Homo-oligomer: A and B are copies of this chain.
């Protein structure tokens, strides 16, 4: 029996998820919705599904689950609405930029006994999964220190930045989730640094482009996150985990696995420089995991709580930069 899906929002990421639903066994794409007719049309034509309104999808008896890819400020409302309509919900991160609003939405999901998966795609990257499997298999002993390097090839448009909630909530949020996942223990304190080095316009917009964060858990484990909005050599996505018995690291992905040698030395191509290319397998795996969880009535591998915690860490980082101090997570979550 196939689970019937609707995709809400047919933008870039909506298209990625629509394709994933179409490709996964056990899932059928029934409908797509988008305020922009042409965007919806493109998905409908590519994967042979209906175009419907949000209202129609909420009311539809032939839709079991929805994938929310609409603008961030609609996420919490849609999560509540579709949970109440009895649909399983997959929502792109973040649930909301406001922690209280996130908490409220999660309470609604819980009250309704709903299913909510928040899209932290990186947990489904094959290399990061292999790394996690190595850790869980005891290959590095007890985890002590997680180091995450995450640099974008270039900054998004200033207009995007202005409504993004800031670099910690927009970009570092992925790394906060990875840190929690790999530490295997909740973070207790957060210290952060931030500056504007790549483009003064980002500073004028009230944001930063170069940040570092240190996290510490109650038992003393550490995570370090380093972010930049600029990396001329491509989309830099590296993680390493030091444990009592060793270390595991995941390497970057290049455009091609070739090497050129000449009088100036040896060269390899730049990194894949677009998140959808870099994480193409992760996006497909993520949707497959959601389908499997819904089909089995099982817990989703990432949850609304994960979304909440990552946002809380971002809020703590913002506060740490502002006040120049170590912020306890409890200062933020109350």
Contacts and interface: CB of A to CB of B under 8 A. Distances in A.
Given A263-B270, A325-B324, A214 B191 contact: yes
Nearest to A144: B197
A332 to B, nearest CB: 15
A54 interface: no
A269 B261 contact: no
A267 B264 contact: yes
B224 A265 contact: no
Interface in A213-258: 214, 216, 220-222, 224, 226, 228, 230-233, 242, 244-258
A72 interface: no
A193 to B, nearest CB: 5
B244 A248 contact: no
A229 to B, nearest CB: 11
Interface in A158-175: none
A260 B226 CA distance: 19
Contacts of A265: 233, 254-255, 267-270
B222 A195 contact: yes
Contacts of A242: 151, 228, 231
B263 A266 contact: no
A231 B247 contact: yes
A224 B147 CA distance: 11
12 contacts: A127-B257, A134-B258, A191-B193, A212-B224, A224-B224, A233-B246, A247-B260, A251-B259, A253-B257, A264-B270, A265-B267, A325-B326
Contact of A249 (B127, B259, B326): B259
A144 to B, nearest CB: 5
B214 A214 contact: yes
Nearest to A227: B145
A193 B210 contact: no
A216 to B, nearest CB: 5
Contacts of A247: 231-233, 260-262
Contacts of A254: 265-266
A126 interface: yes
Contact of A267 (B253, B256, B266): B266
Nearest to A23: B23
In the complex, the 3 A-B pairs of residues with the closest C-beta atoms, listed nearest first: A195-B220, A246-B262, A130-B256
B222 A212 contact: yes
Given A134-B258, A232-B246, 20 more contacts: A193-B216, A193-B222, A212-B214, A212-B224, A214-B214, A228-B242, A231-B242, A232-B262, A232-B263, A233-B246, A233-B263, A246-B260, A250-B258, A251-B257, A261-B270, A265-B268, A266-B267, A266-B268, A324-B325, A325-B326
Contacts of A139: 260, 262
